[in-house]
A and B are shown apart, each in its own frame.
Chain A
Amino acid sequence: MTVTPVSPASSETVNSLEVSRLAYAYPDGTQALFGVDLAIGRGERVALLGPNGAGKTTLVMHLNGILTPGHGSVTVGGVPVRKDTLKDIRQRVGLVFQDPDDQLFMPTVRDDVAFGPANAGLRGAELDRVVTGALARVGMLDFAGRPPHHLSFGQRRRVAVATVLAMEPEILVLDEPSSNLDPAARRELAEILRSLDVTVLMVTHDLPYALELCERSLILSGGVIAADGPTRELLADEELLAEHRLELPFGFAIPSL
């Protein structure tokens, strides 16, 4: 499974994301990941849960080659993440950062959504079609001509999702998607994410949000995957949560099916 030929995934059996025995130490010697193994099938929505400092962000940085593995491998849709596949990988992995101001750097919403596809070589009518499609999917089409800093935080996050959707990624990776959102914006984003037909990996410590959106969850703790299973079962296991510094918010009870 670790040695995969460099060929675009064609069959449905190829996983969107495969990480095997991934270990990484920062240049200063701090070991952040100690052998992470995980696989996410096409079309799945998976939550990656873990306390602060568990290595979540470090893992995310490996998914599109910003960091290169010290040991082990990452494969996206059948293509291994390597120096020579970076361009391809960045097209396949859509990373949505925590602060939309980091992600929206162009003067208007439209230009920003067009940035990725234009880098991939799209121009003219085809570019317009992709941009319009992506903005429509997050319900922000009416704001195409606006500068990003004139939007509300929730709107900016939705545009940030559109910027990566426009690249038609194999997998959408969201870093703390619910942070700083008010309840209405949170619900709107959940509706959008549910309506998308892509593989989603959601990195969060917002457990109710994970339960709402993801069938399956992984717990990353101490640089390894400590648990992998249906979100509902993981969140019901109080001992497991406590062991990994995770807690349900006060008063929250897992709703019955």
Chain B
Amino acid sequence: MGAGHRHELYLPGDSPVHRLPPQCKLLAVLAFAIVVVATPREAFWAFGLYAVLLAAVAAVARVPAGHVVRRMAIEVPFVLFAFLIPVIGMGERVSVLGLSLSAPGLWAAWNILAKATLGVVASILLAATTEPRVVLLGAQRLRLPSLLVQIAMFMLRYLDVIVGEMRRMRVARESRGFAARDVRQIPVIARSAGALFIRSYERGERVHLAMLSRGYTGSMPIIDEMSASVVQWASALALPAAALAVLGCAL
């Protein structure tokens, strides 16, 4: 499953964007998102320019539009919510295609849609050009709390193992004639989940022993020295800088 995710999001390549150190890209995406969120919702043309900026990054990274669009499915729940707001919103009503909608609601929906979409596309571009483990190296490099980074790292590594264990337990259940039909089967599923938890917990203990055996003292050693040059920082931060310039004009 984890492996599947890797192939789903990451698009192997050797573009200038792929080659940037992850810490630069992480910070660039974060800064870009902050600028986007800070933009007043009335500045339609600013959002248009942001989209053009992202399209330019995608072009440099050679990430095809289809790749980005398909992965935007993650945004769907927010979109549905955004569509609901004008319908249930209060205040001044306007008539659109025969529907009576709330004007403040429309503004709120536009605000959510535009900003979320830009944020999601920026993240997809980050994920398409950076392997998950490298993203974590970048996070480590940016001195994010090391415990959180380690937890994410182990999740990445053991997701496959745990999903495999879950699958074996399901096969074992089903080969003895079990089929989850209705609520009466919930206790069985719950017990399986409990067993899975205990197995994972015990594996965690064994992994910890293995780590201790190789001299682990509480922090992950930095294996790859990935220092970023000024040029790399500058090229990564060009995206939020350009967005900031747009924002400056919009204000």
Contacts and interface: CB of A to CB of B under 8 A. Distances in A.
Contacts of A118: 221-223
B159 to A, nearest CB: 9
Contacts of A95: 210, 213
A64 B161 CA distance: 27
A119 B161 contact: no
A6 B118 CA distance: 62
Contact of B214 (A108, A115, A127): A115
A155 interface: no
A16 interface: no
Interface stretch (A36-44, A98-106, A208-216, A247-255): A98-106
Interface string B210-222: 1111111100011
Interface stretch (B72-80, B188-196, B201-209): B201-209
B182 interface: no
Contacts of A101: 158, 161, 203
Nearest to A110: B223
Interface of A: 64, 66, 87, 90-91, 93, 95, 97, 99, 101-103, 105-108, 111, 114-116, 118-120, 123-124, 127, 147-150, 163-164, 167
A182 to B, nearest CB: 19
A164 B214 contact: yes
28 contacts: A64-B213, A66-B209, A66-B212, A66-B213, A90-B213, A95-B213, A101-B158, A102-B207, A105-B154, A105-B158, A106-B153, A107-B136, A108-B133, A111-B133, A115-B211, A115-B216, A116-B214, A116-B215, A119-B215, A119-B217, A147-B3, A147-B133, A147-B157, A148-B157, A149-B2, A149-B160, A149-B161, A163-B214
B157 A106 contact: yes
B214 A102 contact: no
Given A90-B213, A102-B210, 4 more contacts: A107-B136, A111-B223, A118-B221, A163-B214
A91 B216 CA distance: 11
- Range class of the B interface residue count: 20 to 34
A111 B211 CA distance: 13
A91 B215 contact: yes
Contacts of A114: 221, 223
Interface string B63-90: 0000000000000000000000000000
A90 B210 CA distance: 10
A150 B216 CA distance: 25
A116 B209 CA distance: 13
A97 B133 CA distance: 24
The 5 closest A-B pairs by CB, nearest first: A118-B221, A119-B215, A107-B133, A116-B214, A102-B206
A149 B225 CA distance: 25
A99 B165 CA distance: 14
